[in-house]
């Protein structure tokens, strides 16, 4: 009878260990997924910031070119 009780406890312990291993595996997967999601969001944010900065530089360059080619009425000899 003692052997049967020990065998049952061994089966229960191994079942608990299997559940604990699954929980640990899920926790690691969730953590890795969270880090992956965070890295993806950061890369998307950096990409969007880079595109915004490029648009600003392009717009500033276009405005500067338009300003230089339009002439300056306050300067003598400027084109109208």
The per-residue pLDDT for range 8-20, each reduced to its tens digit, is: 666 666 778 888 8
User: Could you tell me the pLDDT band of residue 55, with boundaries at 50, 70 and 90?
Assistant: confident
Both tokens of 9, joined, read 């406890």
Q: How far apart are CA 44 and CA 32, in angstroms?
A: 18
Is the dihedral angle over the CA atoms 72, 73, 75, 79 positive or is it negative?
Answer: positive
Confidence (pTM): 0.42
pLDDT at residue 24 in the model: 92
């Amino acid at each position: 009878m003692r052997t049967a009780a020990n065998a049952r406890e061994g089966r229960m312990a191994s079942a608990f260990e299997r559940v604990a291993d699954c929980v640990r595996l899920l926790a690691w997967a969730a953590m890795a997924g969270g880090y992956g999601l965070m890295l993806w969001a950061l890369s998307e944010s950096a990409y969007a910031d880079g595109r915004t900065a490029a648009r600003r530089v392009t717009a500033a360059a276009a405005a500067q070119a338009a300003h230089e080619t339009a002439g300056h009425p306050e300067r003598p000899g400027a084109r109208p």
